[in-house]
């Protein structure tokens, strides 16, 4: 329809890509998105499928969702202005320079462009064909956390959508760190747990039903790739944060329990007021009134980040609880929230 934005999605066959496609299809300001597939040798069934319903049969009977081979010329001919990349990090790292050179704006759901500091980016071991251009784009990319970077996102041509764990931890800690009330010398501990969809759609030995069901396991201790995002965005030293992710035997959702000390005695009302003031007018953050605490089930299938806390009687020891749906506020929903900002629309467009 005339006047509506034309978007494209590369990677719709993944969990986040599917959620993104569903949101874009119902978004009132968009035309039906162009769904793209990568051309790969010896690819999986999802790489060579001709329709998204072939990968996700629940979509059958809704008019078809054809998957087109990636073509910059075809996208230009179809009037695509915004490209969403729900692709592996290495693929996004290679594709973004091409997309920008063709005049597209890009929202990348991978970790390819989130990290400014080389020591944090090293975990991905990117092999850039043009290191100078990659460095320029790294600086140009805007970290797509709307509650912290809304003004910059609105003007961006490249938005690096945050990681799911990082979203839950950054939003919980940002108000306290900005207010300067955290005793950083005593460190911060984040104990975060995610549903299995956070590991992606390709099965592994660790995500097999037999390994996950009736189980809870820690992984990537001290070297999870979202740690770099957290410390960069919160301007923490590496030694100030201990982050341990865990795998929950549920399909989706994240709960982060964060432990810290305050540098002065506070009351629950003071802590709650600090959060309420920081997130005043922020549509997708809900601050729970103490003593009520968020649970995974409250934020599932929504774009909310739910925040709550418990303050010890001494007024100095604080426990934060942060819950999100890892596929929505942790991925696809946040990507659409970023798109809304980029085009001057309300942040809840298409997300209610």
Q: What is the pLDDT of residue 49?
A: 83
Task: Give me the catalytic one of 164, 305, 310, 323.
Answer: 164
Question: For residue 276, is pLDDT > 80?
Answer: yes
Is 310 an active-site residue? no
The architecture that CATH gives domain 164-324 is 2-Layer Sandwich (3.30)
pLDDT at 221: 95
41: pLDDT confidence band, cut at 50, 70 and 90?
very low
Residues in contact with 58: Cβ distance below 8 Å, sequence separation at least 6, in sequence order: none
Q: Which of left, alpha, beta for 187 (phi over 0: left; psi -120 to 50: alpha)?
A: left
In angstroms, the CA 143 to CA 122 distance is: 18
Domain boundaries in the chain? 7-161+331-342, 164-324
- pLDDT averaged over the chain? 95
Predicted local distance difference test score (pLDDT) of residue 203: 81
Of 43-47, 153-157, 191-195, 306-310, the poorest mean pLDDT is in 43-47
Handedness of CA 24, 25, 29, 33 (dihedral sign): positive
Which pLDDT does position 200 carry in this prediction?
Answer: 84
Confidence category of residue 205, pLDDT binned at 50, 70, 90? confident
Nearest in space to 96 (alpha carbons), one of 88, 82, 110, 106: 106
The secondary structure of residue 312, as a DSSP letter, is -
Q: Is the pLDDT of residue 224 over 90?
A: yes
| The pLDDT of residue 42 | 44
1 confidence band (pLDDT: 50, 70, 90): very low
Q: How large is the average pLDDT for residues 326-342?
A: 98
- The number of C-alpha atoms within 13 Å of 184 and in the hemisphere containing its C-beta is 15
pLDDT in tens, 93-125: 999 999 999 999 999 999 999 999 999 999 999
Task: Report the alpha-carbon distance of residue 351 to residue 304 in Å, rounded.
Answer: 10
Superfamily for the 7-161+331-342 domain: NAD(P)-binding Rossmann-like Domain (3.40.50.720)
- Return the half-sphere exposure (C-beta side, CA atoms, 13 A cut-off) of residue 48: 6
CB 144 within 8 A of CB 335: yes
Residue 39 above 70 pLDDT? no
Which residue, chain included where needed, has tokens 């975060």?
192
């Amino acid at each position: 329809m005339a006047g509506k934005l034309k978007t494209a999605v590369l990677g719709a066959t993944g969990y986040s890509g599917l959620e993104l496609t569903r949101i874009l299809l119902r978004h009132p300001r968009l035309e039906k998105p162009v769904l793209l597939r990568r051309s790969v040798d010896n690819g999986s069934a999802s790489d060579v499928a001709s329709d998204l319903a072939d990968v996700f049969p629940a979509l059958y009977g809704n008019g078809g969702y054809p998957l087109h081979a990636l073509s910059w010329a075809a996208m230009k001919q179809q009037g695509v202005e915004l490209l969403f990349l729900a692709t592996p990090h290495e693929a996004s790292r290679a594709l973004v320079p091409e997309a920008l050179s063709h005049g597209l704006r890009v929202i990348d759901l991978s970790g390819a462009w989130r990290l400014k500091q080389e020591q944090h980016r090293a975990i991905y071991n990117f092999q850039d064909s043009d290191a100078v251009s990659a460095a320029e784009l790294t600086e140009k990319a805007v970290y797509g956390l709307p509650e912290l970077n809304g003004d910059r996102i609105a003007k961006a041509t490249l938005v690096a959508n945050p990681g799911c764990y990082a979203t839950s931890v950054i939003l919980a800690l940002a108000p306290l760190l900005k207010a300067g009330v955290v005793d950083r010398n005593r460190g911060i501990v984040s104990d975060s747990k995610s549903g299995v969809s956070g590991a992606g759609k390709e099965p592994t030995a660790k995500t097999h039903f037999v390994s996950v069901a009736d189980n809870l396991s820690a992984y990537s201790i001290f070297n999870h790739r979202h740690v770099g995002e957290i410390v960069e965005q919160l301007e923490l030293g590496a030694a100030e944060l201990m982050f341990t992710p865990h795998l929950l035997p549920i399909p989706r959702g994240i709960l982060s329990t964060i432990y810290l000390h305050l540098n002065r005695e506070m009351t629950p009302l003071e802590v709650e007021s600090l959060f309420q003031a920081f997130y005043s007018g922020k549509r997708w953050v809900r601050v729970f009134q103490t003593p009520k605490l968020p649970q995974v089930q409250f934020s599932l299938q929504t774009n909310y980040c739910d925040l709550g806390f418990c303050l010890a009687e001494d007024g100095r020891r604080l426990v934060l609880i942060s819950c999100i749906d890892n596929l929505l506020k942790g991925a696809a929903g946040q990507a659409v929230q970023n798109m809304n900002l980029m085009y001057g629309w309300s942040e809840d467009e298409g997300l209610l």
